[in-house]
Structures are given as structure tokens and as C-alpha cells.
Amino acid sequence: MNLLTILITTYNRSPYIKVLVERFSRYIEKGLEFKVLISDDCSKDDTEQLCLEYQEQYDWLSYYRLEKNSGMDANFRNAYAHCETKYCWLLGDHRYIDFDEMKTILDVLSQEKYDALILRCRDEVIYPDKEYTDINILFRELGINITNNASCIIPTCFFNESMYQRFKGTTFLHMGILIEGLAAKQSFNVRYLSKVVAKNLEIDGFSYVGWNNHPFLNFGKYWVNFIFSLTPQIDVLNKAYVLKLHNRITGLFDIGSIPRKMAVYGDVFIKSYKEGRPYMKYATDKPLWLLDLLILFIPKSVYGFTRKIYKKVKKLRTRGKIQ
């Protein structure tokens, strides 16, 4: 019980909390030992009532609530600050792993051989299980994988107030803590577990938008500034490689996907592009003039019409009338 705490940061998503806690309860009933800590960013739904009931029921679960809604970083900070086990895992409130995978994590951690574990969060690139002792090799091979909050299990001692202030507002707080924590050590050993996959939890009636409506900020402006701010121990060529590799693998800024996203997100998407535009030459191989043409010069009325069609199709799919 003193080895690992799963950190669930949440806001107005009590149905997800219920599914996750019930799942982890079954894992513990089957003999696994770990703790769960829920940090609530002052939810307005029934999250507080639900979590207080769980806290009374389970001695392995603790619940902390922020006094006011303070945003993602403050919620992460609250979770890290209350963690008391050797390792912590910022899983969030919409991801999970299966029982056998959870057992694998605990078995590996119990060896007390590794400074951190990295789990697979992407299906696009699959590296074999591997141990890393070099920060440049780790960053080059797994840099885009660890953009995902749920990919990293880290020593709780890596988190401190100065680290929080350093990466606050970058949207990659957890990644910065891992990279800088490892770089500060004289030597380290990190294990990548390719067969442990953090999967998205799907619940009918709920959708996860996150940063998808402003990708040119998260993986344009913020991504570029964050990567170049990392420790100089990481070679600048590796930083530049990982910056563009994210889009090559995910296709986030592919030309074919932009019309659909414009139709879905509209003005928010355009505003995101205008702010992130100066950074795109570092984040993608796509020519800037082509992005300008698709986002800034095609009349909004075209995308407005497309948006109406998209909403109509989505409604029909919801009703089961089309596949």
C-alpha cells in the first residue's frame, strides 16, 4: 500500500469516477495493493458526495477538494502534494488499465530497480520493452508518448514547489517533472512497458474535448516553448526532431483533417491558429501558406455549412439511424 498511488484529477465527471473506483475496488479485492487519491477541482455535480461516500467505505481511497475551481495545473498540484507513497501515477479521470496490466506495474515497482516507469499510450508507434539510462535516447524514442499524462509513473519526490512553478501553464507539467527529475540524477534507470496500455474510458452520453479545439496552442505554441525550455542535457537536434515527430505520428495538422475540425470547432479553432501560427514552423513540416489558405482565407460560410451537415450526421448517428 505504500508503493503506488493512482492520482485521479477530476472536474464534473462523477460517472467516470464511479466506473474507475468500482474497477479498482475489484482489483484490490483480487489481492492487488495500491492507493487511490481523488483531487476534485471544486466540481458542481455530485462528485463530492460520491467521493466522500467512497472515502468512508474504502481505506485505500482519499479525497481532496479545492476550495474553488482553479484549473488543471492547480488540481495536479493538489494531487501530487497529498501523495504519500513512493511512486505516483497521474492517471486522470478518463483512463484505465486492465487487471493483469496493473499487476505487472506493481510487480515491476516492487523490484525497486527503476526510477520511473513509462507505459504505452499510443498505438501509432510501438517500441519493444526497454530499459533507458540515457536522457537523450529516452527523449528521442518516447518523447511523444510521454505527452500523455497517464504514460508516466514517477517517484513522488520528483514533485516540489519549484518544479511546479517551472512548468505551470505549459500544459505538460507531468512531462516536465519526469524529464527534469531524471536529468537531475547522476544516473537513472527507466523501464518502458510496451504491453501496459493506458486506455480511454468511454461512457455513453459523455465526450472528452480537452485541448482538441485549440491544437495550435497545445501542440504549437505551448509545445514548442516547453520542449526548448527543457534541460540543455537534451541535444537541440533531438528537441527539434521530437517537436515535429508528434505531428508526423498523430497527423494532428494534416491537411485532410483541418476542414473537419474547422467545421466542428469554428472560431475557437481559428483563434488557436492565429496565436500558434508563429510556432508552426517548429511543430510541423506542413507549409505555412497552405495552412493559411485553409484556415484564414476560405470563407467562414463554407465551414458554417459544413458544420450544419456535421451536426445533422452526428444526431442521426446518436439516434442509430446511420452507422
Each residue's pLDDT tens digit, 116-158? 999 998 777 778 899 999 999 999 999 999 999 899 999 999 9
Residue 205 has pLDDT above 80, yes or no: no
Average model confidence (pLDDT) for the chain? 90
Average pLDDT over residues 282-302: 84
Using CA atoms, how far apart are residues 65 and 175, in angstroms rounded to an integer? 24
Does residue 13 contact residue 42 with C-beta atoms inside 8 Å? no
Q: Of residues 202 and 226, which shows the higher confidence score?
A: 226
Block residue for cell numbers 512497458: 193
Determine the 3-state secondary structure of 61 from DSSP: strand
Interval 58-116: pLDDT, tens: 999 999 999 999 999 999 999 999 999 999 999 999 999 999 999 999 999 999 999 99
Q: Of residues 2 and 84, which shows the higher confidence score?
A: 84
Using CA atoms, how far apart are residues 167 and 73, in angstroms rounded to an integer? 9
Report the range of poorest mean pLDDT among 53-57, 176-180, 219-223, 291-295: 291-295
Using CA atoms, how far apart are residues 55 and 73, in angstroms rounded to an integer? 24
Nearest to 36 by CA among 85, 81, 72, 78: 85
Distances 234 to 12, 35, 160 between C-alpha atoms, Å: 38, 34, 22
All 3 cell numbers of residue 245? Answer: 515527430
Residue 39 has pLDDT above 90, yes or no: yes
pLDDT given at position 306:
59
Q: Of residues 104 and 286, which shows the higher confidence score?
A: 104
